[in-house]
Chain A
Amino acid sequence: MIRVENLTKTFETDTTDFIAVDNLSFQVNPGEVYGLLGPNGAGKTTTMRMVLGLMQPTEGFAEVEGFRSSDSPDEVKRRIGFVSATAGIYQWLTVREMLGFFCEMYGLRGSEVEPRVDHVADLLDCRPFLDQRCANLSTGQRQRVNLARAIVHDPPTMLLDEPTLGLDVVASQVVFDYIRLAQELQKSIILCTHRLEQAERVCNRFGLLHQGKLVHEGSLQDLQNQTGQQNLVDMFLQMIKPTPAT
């Protein structure tokens, strides 16, 4: 389970303070996919980083499976699978070597590593290129390897930040198939994506972020009631439309 409480992040610049995330609170239960949606610069990625413990919140806290990310970042990291839009892969290692390395990073040893690598490779259809150098992979294959890297330790929670960025429909489908599987396995998932139509299909609940603030939250039905719009695209457009001066 993921719990975010009054999470705030302020960046100090030379001239002024910039509030990237403003008093954010939400909760993601096991078996739930939470769509954290918003335009560029809304604070989605900063929120993810604070949940993971990569960044210290200015105020508030995030908890993963009962551990606060600011107090016990290593405990939190062990319980999270993190896929970032900008995550890369080790070009000079083979897929097998890279996945094996991340197995060890997450505490697996010796005889545990190989079966786990084979398992995630089968799960995400990486078997055909398991022994290829990562540098030779296509974009879709790379993103699948990235997802495999994030789940080698079978985490109970997943943070997916634009996991389908740059992928075609077929490659995206592999990712969304995995999300559905993770949902069945009672994992708590936060999904940030611009693929709103896909988000509508896989997410149980949504949080619409704008300028660091949670503007709307709830199921698709709740959001439709709150905004009067039928789909996420329209809700988005309505949310970011400048308020007329009074």
Chain B
Amino acid sequence: MSDSPFPSDEGGTPSSFRPISFWRLAYKELRETLRDRRTLLTLFLMPLIVYPILSLLLQSFFLSGLPTTAAEDNEDPDRLGANEFAYVLEEQQTLNEEDLRKLNRAFVDYNAARERSGTNESNPGNLSAEDLATQKNLFEKHSFNWVDPEQEQDIQEMLANGSADVGVLVDNRRDADGKNTGLQFTLLYLDNDVRSLKALALLENILNYTNLSTYQTLLERVTGRRLIREPVSIKTEMIELKSNAAGSTGISFAAIIPLILTLMTITGAVYPAIDLTAGERERGTLESMIAAPIPRMRILLGKLVAIISVAMLTAIVNLLGMSITLWVFQLDTVFLGEQGLSVATAIRVLGLLILFAAFFSSVLLVITSFARSFKEGQAYLIPVVMVALAPSLMSLKPDLQLTGVWTVTPLVNIVLLARDVIDGSADWRNAIITVLSTAMYSLLALTLAARFFGTASVLYGQGQGIGNLFKRPHRQQKYASLSLGMLCLACLFPATFIWNGVLARTAVVETSGSEIADAAAQQSLLAMQLWLAAAGLVIVFLLIPWAITAFHRVRFRSGFGISKTSAVALIAGVMMGIGFGPLLLQVISWSSQALDFVGLSDEATSDLLVQRGEQYVERIKQAPIWMLLLSMAIVPAICEELFFRGLLFRSFRTHFSPWKTIFATAILFGSFHLISSSGLTISRFLPTTIMGVILGWVCYRSGSVIPGILLHALHNAITVCFAYYRDDLIELGRITAEQENVPPQVLVVGAICATAGVLLLRFFSKPPEMDESSSDVVFSG
């Protein structure tokens, strides 16, 4: 009996070996997971049971649970409360043709009286007392209160506090010549309020009937005369309440759908995450997989894709289940507004959920990788889900806006962004920060998962479980590992954000502080701001990464790339700094112009930023130039280079090729510069990313951060000096006040210097070899 249908040695030569793709791995994981009854239970049974029950509860809550009581309403006949609306609904049945004819008559008479009086004023006080009485009687009979258009705010308050369901403003409609062309009824209603929406529908019906009835009446009166215009036109306006979008309920219903979808995505991801890691380990299949010649990262990615797929499948099934249930129970307009859930919005929300699922699945993978059994995995995840639940509930607060720190708060940011996407009020700048931060957190979680998944310490339980994440290695490390670099990055992202917020606060103090009148006080405030900015850079880019890496025994000098380099590299750094300074200034100018051209920059915001920039430049001129150079050129150059081209560059190099590392760190460098104390500055992304590529290449060729620090500092110094001495240059006639572009002669000189520096580094400096093996992290056990 032969045991080999193919080459009898080891099943193929090394060169012909074709490792399995992670898609095939994901397919197997998905096939296995979707055959599991427990997955199917979460996937289909939950939406079938949960949503109808939830809808029943919500429906009864909306129709009977509002705080305005019948007694209160009855005591105040001028108010249109919940029960009075019910009265209207009842009256609707008896609102016979005669009533409507009266209403119609009133409108016609109102029009006629207004035209007779020859006035275009909308004040019904111009009506005859009889007409007005007829009008008012009709409205009062049906519990509508006549109001003056100038009292619109009062109507809004009535809507807000639930004492009215719908507001009606009556105004004249005029043509281009200012001639009165009829009445315009503006109906004010509350979005997400079932009673307001029903009242709106009722009024629209009445007014539509009025129009039709008027046509008929006029045609009867004046046979053969053609009606040229509608007597009444209807316009509806949704009232957005600042503090309470859902009347007196105190929660934002628009946030409920993304919240439930997010929670369901979590629910969908939890079971496969435990089963495909701790479950497999418990069943003994994980060891067989790890024993195969497949990189652990690929196995992990296969599992991740399967978990995300199941999570998304759960989200889609839930979205469908929820949509059908809302439609059946007529709650769709309450949660989704009049426009409902369009396909485009659903796709956007699902896109956000994919991102969220990727993030949360990675987090789950990290945690479940440590569990020895399914039960242990569950025990680990329950607190995680509870922790995730708490901040997400905060997103139900209607006044919670997706701004500031919320844009970088995991889970809350996605729920708020999805809410804004659904109601069409999403701000793309905050959306970018949300997406970027979530993507970054996902990447971090994935690298952490890759660090521990399938390792001997986890596979055979020799490590100390989840504590390994925070365990100090026994040996000193030359460089930070990739996961450690990502950990630093993840800590820095919110830290940068918070620090920029602090700086923005100090700017607010300055601009709003009329009390800071004297020049000396302003100067000291400016100095404080500059020192604060410099201190922020030192803390964020130097102290935090240093603390993290020192804890993990990474040597400071090698880990941050502070190594000796050749004189040629230093000269090249100086030349490139002088050269690229003006060139990149020009790129910034082009970048802003390009954004304006494609319409990506909001004109108002752009103008505001320009205005702020100009004000800023004017202000900083009050500071001595040495202080500006120190705080805006030298300190940023040292701190940013030590982090991006020092720590992060070396950490990435342990896994990636030089060019991949250069581009990855450059994009991250550019992304960090998107956020400033002035907000999101898109125009900075391209030039700073280009700068990041240049600095990365310099670091790679020289093997040290020092030439890059020189380049960076000189570049910043030239930019600062250009702004500082701009007026002098204008006086000397070198540039004009309106000039946006860098003078051509300066660009030529810059190009020559930059090229010379590049050539020097390219042909006279050899990149040193990096000892990648020394980045291994060694844990006990």
Binding site for B on A (CB under 8 A): 11-13, 49, 52, 54-56, 65, 73-75, 77-80, 82, 84, 86-93, 97, 101-102, 104-109, 112, 115-116, 119, 123, 146, 149, 151, 153-156, 181-182, 185
Contact = CB atoms under 8 A, between A and B. Distances in A.
Nearest to B36: A92
Given A75-B293, A86-B284, A49 B14 contact: no
A90 B32 contact: yes
B76 interface: no
Contacts of A88: 280, 283-285, 288
A77 B292 contact: yes
Interface in B437-479: 456, 459-460, 462, 474
A153 B590 CA distance: 59
A87 B288 contact: yes
B33 to A, nearest CB: 8
A65 B11 CA distance: 13
Given A87-B284, A87-B288, A92-B32, A155 B3 contact: no
B31 interface: yes
Nearest 8 Cβ contacts at the A-B interface: A88-B284, A88-B283, A12-B780, A92-B35, A153-B11, A77-B293, A105-B292, A74-B293
A105 B283 contact: no
A167 to B, nearest CB: 16
A79 B12 CA distance: 10
Nearest to A20: B462
25 contacts: A12-B474, A13-B781, A54-B287, A74-B294, A77-B291, A78-B10, A78-B293, A84-B287, A87-B284, A87-B285, A87-B287, A88-B285, A90-B32, A92-B32, A93-B28, A102-B288, A106-B293, A107-B18, A107-B19, A109-B18, A112-B5, A112-B6, A146-B288, A153-B11, A185-B4
A75 B17 CA distance: 10
Given A55-B460, A104-B20, A108-B11, 18 more contacts: A52-B291, A73-B293, A78-B10, A78-B14, A80-B291, A87-B287, A88-B280, A88-B283, A102-B292, A105-B289, A105-B293, A107-B11, A107-B12, A107-B16, A112-B6, A115-B5, A123-B3, A154-B10
B57 to A, nearest CB: 36
B24 interface: yes
B285 A49 contact: no
Interface in B567-588: none
A151 B3 contact: yes
Contact of A154 (B4, B295, B780): B4
A49 B460 contact: yes
Nearest to A105: B292
A142 B351 CA distance: 42
A140 to B, nearest CB: 16
B49 interface: no
Interface string B1-44: 10111101111101011111000100010011101100000000
B28 to A, nearest CB: 5
Contacts of A89: 283, 285
Contacts of B5: 112, 115-116, 119
Contacts of B36: 92
B456 A154 contact: no
A101 to B, nearest CB: 5
A48 to B, nearest CB: 10
B507 interface: no
Contacts of A91: 283
Contacts of B283: 88-89, 91
Contacts of B525: none
Given A74-B295, A87-B284, A88-B283, A101 B17 contact: no
A55 B456 contact: yes
Contacts of A84: 284, 287-288
Contacts of B459: 54
Interface residues of B, number: 43
B290 interface: yes
A156 B7 CA distance: 11
Nearest to A91: B283
Interface of B: 1, 3-6, 8-12, 14, 16-20, 24, 28, 31-33, 35-36, 280, 283-285, 287-295, 456, 459-460, 462, 474, 780-781
Interface of B is mostly: loop
A149 to B, nearest CB: 7
A115 to B, nearest CB: 6
A181 B5 CA distance: 15
A54 B456 contact: yes
A185 B1 CA distance: 10
A88 B6 CA distance: 27
A107 B291 CA distance: 14
A154 B284 contact: no
Nearest to B464: A14
Contacts of A101: 28
Contacts of B11: 78, 106-108, 153-155
Contact of B6 (A54, A65, A93, A154): A154
Contacts of B462: 11
Contacts of A155: 10-11
A156 B31 CA distance: 31
A79 B460 contact: no
A219 B292 CA distance: 32
B456 A49 contact: yes
A146 B32 CA distance: 18
A93 B292 contact: no
A181 B1 contact: yes
Nearest to B12: A107
A11 B464 CA distance: 12
A212 to B, nearest CB: 15
Nearest to B28: A101
Contacts of A185: 3-4, 8
Contact of A82 (B10, B33, B291, B781): B291
A21 B326 CA distance: 64
Contacts of B294: 74, 105
Contacts of A65: 10
A146 to B, nearest CB: 8
B606 to A, nearest CB: 53
Nearest to B285: A88
Contacts of B14: 75, 78
B596 to A, nearest CB: 52
B285 A154 contact: no
A217 to B, nearest CB: 26
A20 B781 CA distance: 11
Indicate the member of A107, A119, A155, A156 with the most B CB atoms within 10 Å. Answer: A107
A93 B32 contact: yes
Contacts of A82: 288, 291
B377 to A, nearest CB: 16
A107 B17 contact: yes
Contacts of B10: 65, 78-79, 153-156
Indicate the member of A49, A93, A106, A182 with the most B CB atoms within 10 Å. Answer: A106
Nearest to A115: B5
Contacts of B291: 52, 54, 77, 80, 82
B193 to A, nearest CB: 48
A38 B11 CA distance: 32
